[in-house]
Structure 1
């Protein structure tokens, strides 16, 4: 049975010409070599001796990317390699982002002519919002309390949403910024129950100054998963 018949897949057409493909999988039921034989997808050198779970997660993410590119009109989508920093290297005409958990993978890809940047992230809901976890995520109590109250969600869901949102922003800005930065540089803010923004609270560069903000989209694919996305169209 082919890979695409083994893994449930769904597509979401996004604004500005982008597509999101998502698939659910059980790594125990898949083999890495199936992705090569069925889809022409292969592992990078640094993953060829990795544990099976890590290999399958990577390949499922790349299958989502391939599906996005097919939706964009590519008859034979090129492979998307990973750089030394493990970030995907996109063709100049595309922007994209990939994320996965141990059973769900997703990717967003769109035209660089319409989209400046995109970042997507999926996280399993944090088990307990301990002071240590709050500190690790660089989240202050005011940020956490406000988000929990405005979104009408649990403290653990609010903390996970903040963490995932900051991951999505990092993925969106990294291709331009090209350096690491701490999560204390950004803050998630809710405007009622239906709108989220993420804002820089310190300067990262001339292009990413304090006060720069982005819409933050979120959803729960299941009761224990939170997905966030930052997508900035070109002006």
Structure 2
């Protein structure tokens, strides 16, 4: 049975010409060699001797990215290598982002002519919103309580959403920023139950200045997973 027949896959057409593909998988039922044989997807050097679980997660993410490019009209989608920082390196005419857990992988890819930046992240819901975890995520109690109250979710779900949103933003800005920064640079804001934004509260560069904001989209693919996404169109 082919890989695509073994893993449930779904597609979501997004604004500004982007596509999101998502798949659920069981790493025990898949073989890394099959991705190369059937899809032309190979492991980067740093994962060739990694445990099977990490290999399959990586390859499922790349399969989602390949499916996105097929939806964009690529009959022979290019490989998406990992850079020295292990972030995906996209062709000049595309922007994209990939995320995965041990059971779910997803990718968003769209035309660089229409989209300035995009980032996506999936996280398992944090088990306990301890003071240490809140500090680690660079979240304050006001931010946490605001999200929890206005989104009508638990503190653990709220903290996970904030963490995931900051990861999504990091993935969106890193290709142009090309440097690390701390999560204290951004803050998640809620504008009622159906609208979230993430905003820079400090300058990162001339391009990413204090006050720059992105719409933050959030959903729960399952009871214990939170997915966030930012997508900024070109103006």
1:125 paired residue number: 125
1:225 paired residue number: 225
1:179 shift after superposition: 0.2
1:32 aligns with 2:26: no
1:21 aligns with 2:6: no
1:67 shift after superposition: 0.2
Q: CA separation in 2, counterparts of 1:212 and 1:29?
A: 44
Q: CA separation in 2, counterparts of 1:208 and 1:95?
A: 17
2:44 paired residue number: 44
1:201 aligns with 2:201: yes
Q: CA separation in 2, counterparts of 1:68 and 1:151?
A: 30
1:57 paired residue number: 57
1:82 paired residue number: 82
Structure 1 unaligned blocks of 5 or more: none
Q: What is the SS of the residue equivalent to 1:85?
A: coil
Q: What is the SS of the residue equivalent to 1:145?
A: helix
1:140 paired residue number: 140
Q: CA separation in 1, counterparts of 2:222 and 2:164?
A: 15
Q: CA separation in 1, counterparts of 2:44 and 2:62?
A: 11
1:93 aligns with 2:93: yes
Q: CA separation in 2, counterparts of 1:50 and 1:33?
A: 14
Q: CA separation in 2, counterparts of 1:35 and 1:137?
A: 35
Q: CA separation in 2, counterparts of 1:94 and 1:202?
A: 28
2:4 paired residue number: 4
1:70 aligns with 2:70: yes
Report the number of matched residues.
235
Deviations 1:90-147 (A, max 9, x none): 0000000000000000000000000011000000000000111000000000000011
Runs of 4+ in 1 over 3 A off after TM superposition: none
Q: What is the SS of the residue equivalent to 1:75?
A: coil
Q: What is the SS of the residue equivalent to 1:216?
A: strand
Q: CA separation in 1, counterparts of 2:26 and 2:98?
A: 18
Deviations 1:145-172 (A, max 9, x none): 0110000000000000000000000000
1:193 shift after superposition: 0.2
